[in-house]
Structure 1
Amino acid sequence: MPKKEIIALDGDGVLLDYHTAYRFAWERAFGVLPEIVDPQAYWAMDRYEVRRLEGEERARFRQCFDHVHWSSLPALPGAVEACHRLNDAGYELVCVTAIGMEFEQARLANLRNAGFPIERVIATPMSVYGDSPKVAALTELRPVAFVDDYLPYFAGIPPHVHAALILREPNGSPNVGPDLRNIQSTHQDLAAFAGWWLEQGRGAA
């Protein structure tokens, strides 16, 4: 059988609802479920009524980002269905996600339990260089498309990879500026990308 073409997908903000998981992590740490103050905020800490953390409080909050956290994020609306559409069209979907290597299996379990047709996760810890931490994985994978919601992660990706940016919430978004010229398509969410991609007649061979 010919090898399937690959579409690489980011995790948080593309497949999974990091905002809601952040809110529940705050409740785990401090016993209070924070109120939403800006539903259009890109960053979770701007979305909720939370305070800046330092010292012991910051350490306590970070401890909540453990295997339980990374294996239990809810799927974003329409994301599971979008992945099934792409999978049914003949693509192999790979999650390329900027989390610690120790949480790679937790993320895979999360995706499987949520119903995503994804059997491979590549964790990409932060790079010490200027390029995206995802460049090495994308260079090796050679996907036909890479879908992410964070513009800086497209820096330095291979030129043959279609760069698809999920714009999502606009307030405080980093998805602005001259680097947008390197993006080949923009979409509100993964469902919009999947519909557009398949409408272009890009079903896998």
Structure 2
Amino acid sequence: MKPIIALDADGVLLDYNLAYRRAWDKAFNTLPSERDPLAYWPIDRWDVLKLEGNELAHFRAYFDQQFWSEIPAISGAVEACLALRKAGYQLVCVSAMDKRYEAARLKNLRDCGFPIERVIVTESLESVISPKAAALRELHPVAFVDDYLPYLRGIPNNVHAALVLREPNGSPNVGPDLMLAHSQHADLIEFSRWWLDCRGPVREFLF
């Protein structure tokens, strides 16, 4: 069995921020301009209002099957995954999202060209322990890559925890929990190059 590398989707594989902008355009017929290109959260990156009540419900209605099946890939992410796959690693997406969109997420990844055959969906609730921890205990990956520091809490100690830092403004990737990350990277392609430099292809990793 090939060693598994578990990958988060939004912010690691897929550009959720860009998809958020597109959803806003569909909902309100206005394509928001960019307010802060270094903002971590889409509501801070784009020049949009904070919605409440009926307007918020109207906007959320656009986060449907189509939305979750058409999020664009982050630049370089497909190439990073292809390099890891070529080196002999099996890639599995572990994503905190609504279970009903699991099939849409897999379709999205496959349509983008990611060599990923399996998506594991977990809860997205905030807690002391990562909602992805239980899935990772069952999956036994050699590494887990996420862009959200709280999701590294409580994952198995023998799993290499790699943190993608990406945009810094308003980022949750700060503070004492940074010690949970065994390595930090600007994006997935930087992680893949670093991992393969350190570990090499699977035949070297195993023997």
- State the TM-score, normalizing by the size of structure 2: 0.96
- Give the corresponding residue for 1:193: 191
- Give the corresponding residue for 1:22: 20
- Give the corresponding residue for 1:103: 101
**1:118 counterpart (85, 103, 116):** 116
Aligned-partner residue type, residue 112 of structure 2: A
Determine the C-alpha separation between the residues in 2 that align with 1:180 and 1:189: 16
Aligned-partner residue type, residue 48 of structure 1: W
Correspondence 1:73 to 2:71 = yes
Determine the C-alpha separation between the residues in 1 that align with 2:122 and 2:91: 16
- Give the corresponding residue for 1:135: 133
Correspondence 1:61 to 2:59 = yes
Structure 1 residue 127: deviation in Å? 4.3
Determine the C-alpha separation between the residues in 2 that align with 1:10 and 1:159: 18
Structure 1 residue 122: deviation in Å? 0.5
Structure 1 residue 4: deviation in Å? 0.6
The sequence identity of aligned pairs, in percent, is 61
Q: Secondary structure at the match of 1:122?
A: strand
Determine the C-alpha separation between the residues in 1 that align with 2:201 and 2:154: 26
Correspondence 1:91 to 2:89 = yes
Structure 1 residue 167: deviation in Å? 0.3
Tell me the alpha carbon deviations over residues 70-120 of structure 1, each in whole angstroms, 9 at most, x when there is no partner: 000000000000000000000000000011100000000000000000000
Aligned-partner residue type, residue 200 of structure 1: C
Q: Secondary structure at the match of 2:199?
A: coil
Extract unaligned runs of 5+ from structure 2. none
- Give the corresponding residue for 2:44: 46
Structure 1 residue 56: deviation in Å? 0.5
Aligned-partner residue type, residue 54 of structure 2: E
Determine the C-alpha separation between the residues in 1 that align with 2:125 and 2:42: 23
Structure 1 residue 203: deviation in Å? 2.1
Determine the C-alpha separation between the residues in 2 that align with 1:13 and 1:22: 12
- Point out the more displaced range, 82-91 or 120-129: 120-129
- Give the corresponding residue for 1:82: 80
RMSD: 0.9
Determine the C-alpha separation between the residues in 2 that align with 1:190 and 1:139: 22
Structure 1 residue 128: deviation in Å? 6.9
- State the TM-score, normalizing by the size of structure 1: 0.97
Extract unaligned runs of 5+ from structure 1. none
Aligned-partner residue type, residue 28 of structure 1: K
Structure 1 residue 125: deviation in Å? 1.4
Tell me the alpha carbon deviations over residues 181-202 of structure 1, each in whole angstroms, 9 at most, x when there is no partner: 1110000000000000000134
**Structure 1 stretches of 4+ moved >4 Å:** none
